[in-house]
Amino acid sequence: MPGFTETFGLALQLIFSGSRDLVEIVMLSLQVSISAVLLGCLVGLPLGAWLVVGKFPGRTLLQVLINAFMGLPPVVIGLVVYLALSHSGPFGVLDLLYSATAMVIAQMLLVTPLVAALARQHLDDLYLEYRNLFASLNLSSWQIARALLWDARYSLLTVSLAGFGRAIAEVGAVMIVGGNINHLTRVMTTTIALETSKGDLGLALALGIILISLSVTVNAAVMGLRSSARRLAYA
C-alpha cells in the first residue's frame, strides 16, 4: 500500500491532470446535490415560514417532527426512497431507481427538514422583531411570510448552505438509490467509499480534497456575502 506522501502526490496529479472520470464524478455530485438543495429550499423555506406565521392545529407536533427529521440517518431515507421507487413500490412505474433523479429525490428528502427547521428558527427571531409592525399594517399571513423570507434572505443563504453540506457529504442514501454505477450514478462520496475499499487511495483522496475545497469555497462565498449584507444592515 502506498504511503501518505505518495498517495497525496497521486491525488494532486489526478486533480491537476483534469482526469475525465474525476470531472464527471464531480460534476454529477454537484448536479445532484445542487438540484436537491434547490428543491429542498423550494419546499423547506415556505414550510419554515408557514410554521412561524401559520395558525393551525398540530403546528407544534409538526415542528417536533421536522426537528426530529433533521437528524434522520441517510441510509433510512435511502431505504424509504428505494422501497418507493423499486418495481414493487408505489412509484416503481416511473423507473427511476438507480438514476440521478432518484439520488436527487433522496437528498432532497434529507435536506428539506433541515432547511425547514433552521429557516423556522431564523424567521421566528425576525418575526418577534417585526410582529408589531406587521400587526399595525394589518397584513395577511401570506404577506408576512413573504416579507420574512425576503428580509431573512441572507440568513437563509446560510441555511441553504447547511443543506448543501448535508447533501454533498452524504453517502448512504445515494449509494442505496443510485447504486454507484460507473458513468451513471457515481458521485464523490460513493466513489471515495468504493475506491478506498479497493485500495485506490489516490482517486479517493483526490475526490476528498475536491470535496473539502468545494465546501470551503462555498462557505467563504456565503460568509463574504453575509458580511457585506451585515455591513449594509440588510442581514
Partner 1 sequence: MPEISIQQSPVPLLQVSGLSLSVGERTLINDIDCVLKKGCRTVVLGPNGAGKSIFLRLLCGLMEPDVGSILWQGQAINSAVRRCLAMVFQHPVLLRRSVAANLNFALGNAGLGAVARRQRVAEGLHLARLQALASQPARLLSGGEQQRLALARALITRPTVLLLDEPTASLDPASVQAVEAIIESAHSQGIKIIFVTHDVGQVRRLADEVLFIHRGTITEQTSVAQFLSSPGSQVASDYLAGRLVL
**Backbone φ, ψ for residue 226 (5° rounding):** -65, -40
Examine residue 55 and tell whether it contacts partner 1 (CB under 8 A).
no
Give the DSSP letter of residue 19. -
Q: What are the cell numbers at 117?
A: 427547521
Q: What is the dihedral of CA 204, 206, 26, 30, to 10 degrees?
A: 90
Residue whose CB is less far from partner 1, 136 or 197: 136
Examine residue 151 and tell whether it contacts partner 1 (CB under 8 A).
yes
Distance of alpha carbon 96 from alpha carbon 89, whole angstroms: 11
CB of 152 vs partner 1, minimal distance in Å: 8
Q: What are the cell numbers at 179?
A: 447504486
Examine residue 228 and tell whether it contacts partner 1 (CB under 8 A).
no
> Is the separation of the CB atoms in 14 and 203 below 8 Å?
yes
Q: Please, which of residues 110-149 interact with partner 1 by CB under 8 A?
A: 129-130, 132-133, 135-139, 143, 147
Residue whose CB is less far from partner 1, 1 or 233: 233
CB of 140 vs partner 1, minimal distance in Å: 8
Judged by the rule CB under 8 A, the positions of this chain that interact with partner 1 are 129-130, 132-133, 135-139, 143, 147, 150-151, 232-235
